[in-house]
């Protein structure tokens, strides 16, 4: 069985090719995180939605015209990485480019599921090419099932929307994090993600000239991929202490989601967070932030109404004022 669909994009073939191959653009319509080695024989890993990563190898590449890659899912015995093939053909037409996507090597049942997925993401691709913004992906908002790593990936999706909205003029703005400007908080967030990556045995490149979204997204992709490969068992040497790996994953969730709120608040952006995600991360926070950490890493918990949403309660639990959220 195969899936075959063609859509029209109001951009030229080179721009269309970039949209379907470059990590920064893939994150805007198709993936939460993306690693791409764009050469014949090179591999890719795309976190399509939290907890679900596709992997494969590029077999044909004609910039502006065609790309072919193998496709499968991590941890899926029925359709593992390399088990099927995706071909994308680009053709220049009046006013833009047609994009034909063919996914071959599927069973009838797999074709039904992948058709739903491709239709969803191709619709987002058209919206991005037409308007410049596909919007937050509802499929990434509330992981099911959810665990520490799926929630971290969902938190990354939330953070990236805020990071994409940052402007150069925002860098000196004060944030709810005491003593941090936006620029300083970005450095802190990058350093935290990099430290976790180091404990996992990977190196996160500094990329000081990259945009905030690219810098944080690339660091998070490297760290989360390493975490997925390692798992949550045992402990990690964080340099200052040996910590349970699951606790380190909790910290990564807090870094991504709470600092996304800090950055959104500092720059007047709307923060869209599913209650499923904020409920879960609030539970992680309660298992992570001890009374001994108050006054050092975290301020005392602030007060909110009993009827407050879980995101407000999460922010208050970390010691921030939530008035006007």
Q: Clarify whether residues 118 and 149 are in a common domain.
A: no
The SS3 of residue 10 is: coil
| Rounded mean pLDDT, 165-179 | 95
Element (H, E) at 103: strand 96-104
Is the distance from CB of 281 to CB of 253 less than 8 angstroms? yes
Token duo for residue 136: 């937050």
Per-residue DSSP letters for 158-192?
Answer: HHHHHHHT--GGGTT-B-SSTT-BHHHHHHHHHHH
Output the pLDDT for position 296. Answer: 74
Q: Clarify whether residues 19 and 113 are in a common domain.
A: yes
| Rounded mean pLDDT, 75-100 | 98
| Rounded mean pLDDT, 22-42 | 98
Tens digit of each residue's pLDDT (9 = 90 or more) over 233-253: 999 999 999 999 999 999 999
Domain span at residue 63 reads: 2-131
Token duo for residue 196: 């976790």
The SS3 of residue 136 is: coil
Among residues 104, 131, 158, the one where a domain terminates is 131
Is the distance from CB of 285 to CB of 320 less than 8 angstroms? no
- pLDDT over threshold 80, residue 324: no
Is the distance from CB of 261 to CB of 271 less than 8 angstroms? yes
- pLDDT over threshold 90, residue 292: no
pTM: 0.95
Q: Clarify whether residues 151 and 125 are in a common domain.
A: no
Output the pLDDT for position 66. Answer: 98
Q: Which residues pair with 98 in a beta bridge?
A: 8, 91
Confidence of residue 298 (pLDDT cuts 50, 70, 90): confident
Distances (CA, A) of 157 to 34, 142, 260: 12, 11, 10
Rounded distance between C-alpha atoms, residue 204 and residue 190, angstroms: 9
| Rounded mean pLDDT, 58-75 | 98
Is the distance from CB of 71 to CB of 57 less than 8 angstroms? no
- pLDDT over threshold 80, residue 224: yes
| Rounded mean pLDDT, 122-137 | 98
Token duo for residue 138: 């509802």
Confidence of residue 180 (pLDDT cuts 50, 70, 90): very high
> What crossing angle do the helices spanning 245-267 and 275-288 adopt, rounded to 10°?
120
The CATH number linked to 55 is 3.30.530.20
- pLDDT over threshold 80, residue 185: yes
Q: Clarify whether residues 118 and 151 are in a common domain.
A: no
- Beta-carbon contacts of 75 under 8 Å, excluding residues fewer than 6 positions away, are none
Q: Clarify whether residues 76 and 178 are in a common domain.
A: no
DSSP 145: S
Average pLDDT, the chain: 96
Output the pLDDT for position 325. Answer: 42
Q: Clarify whether residues 79 and 148 are in a common domain.
A: no
Among residues 70, 99, 131, the one where a domain terminates is 131
Is the distance from CB of 309 to CB of 321 less than 8 angstroms? no
- State how many domains the chain has: 2
| Rounded mean pLDDT, 158-184 | 96
Q: Clarify whether residues 268 and 182 are in a common domain.
A: yes
Residue 262 placed within a domain: yes
Q: Is the peptide bond preceding residue 145 cis, with omega within 30 degrees of 0? A: yes
Q: Which residues pair with 7 in a beta bridge?
A: 99
Q: Chain-centre distance of CA 11, in angstroms?
A: 25
Confidence of residue 63 (pLDDT cuts 50, 70, 90): very high
For the chain, helix, strand, coil in percent to 5 are 45, 20, 35
Rounded distance between C-alpha atoms, residue 155 and residue 250, angstroms: 11
- Of all residues in the chain, what percent carry a pLDDT higher than 70? 99
Q: Clarify whether residues 209 and 165 are in a common domain.
A: yes
From the list 260, 257, 233, 259, the residue with the least C-alpha distance to 247 is 233
| Rounded mean pLDDT, 86-110 | 98
Q: Clarify whether residues 169 and 195 are in a common domain.
A: yes
Rounded distance between C-alpha atoms, residue 174 and residue 293, angstroms: 23
- pLDDT over threshold 50, residue 135: yes
| Rounded mean pLDDT, 177-195 | 95
Q: How far apart are the first and last CA of the chain?
A: 49
């Amino acid at each position: 069985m195969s899936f075959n669909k063609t859509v029209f994009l109001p951009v030229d073939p080179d721009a269309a090719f970039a949209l379907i191959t470059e990590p920064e653009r893939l994150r805007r319509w198709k993936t939460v995180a993306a690693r791409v080695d764009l050469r014949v024989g090179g591999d890719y890993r795309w976190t399509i939605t939290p907890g679900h990563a596709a992997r494969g190898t590029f077999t044909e590449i004609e910039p502006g015209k065609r790309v072919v890659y193998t496709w499968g899912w991590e941890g899926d015995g029925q359709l593992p990485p390399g088990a099927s093939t995706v071909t994308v053909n680009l053709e220049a037409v009046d006013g833009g480019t047609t994009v034909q996507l063919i996914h071959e090597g599927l069973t009838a049942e797999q074709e039904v599921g992948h058709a739903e997925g491709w239709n969803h993401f191709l619709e987002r691709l058209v919206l991005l090419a037409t308007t410049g913004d596909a919007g937050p992906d509802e499929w990434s908002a509330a992981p099911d099932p959810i665990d520490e790593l799926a929630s971290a990936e969902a938190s990354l999706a939330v953070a990236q929307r805020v990071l994409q909205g940052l402007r150069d003029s925002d860098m000196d703005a004060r944030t709810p994090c005491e003593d941090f400007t936006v620029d300083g908080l970005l450095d802190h967030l990058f350093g935290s993600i990099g430290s976790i990556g180091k404990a996992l045995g990977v190196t996160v490149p500094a990329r000081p000239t990259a945009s905030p979204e690219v810098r944080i997204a690339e660091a998070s992709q490297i760290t989360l991929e390493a975490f997925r490969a390692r798992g949550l068992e045992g402990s990690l040497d964080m340099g200052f202490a040996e910590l349970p790996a699951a606790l380190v994953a909790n910290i990564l969730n807090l870094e991504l989601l709470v600092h996304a709120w800090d950055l959104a608040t500092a720059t007047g952006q709307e923060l869209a967070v599913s209650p499923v995600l904020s409920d879960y991360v609030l539970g992680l926070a309660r298992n992570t932030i001890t009374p001994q950490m108050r006054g050092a890493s975290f301020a005392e918990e602030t007060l909110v109404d009993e009827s407050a949403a879980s995101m407000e309660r999460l922010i208050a639990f970390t010691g921030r004022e939530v008035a006007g959220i």
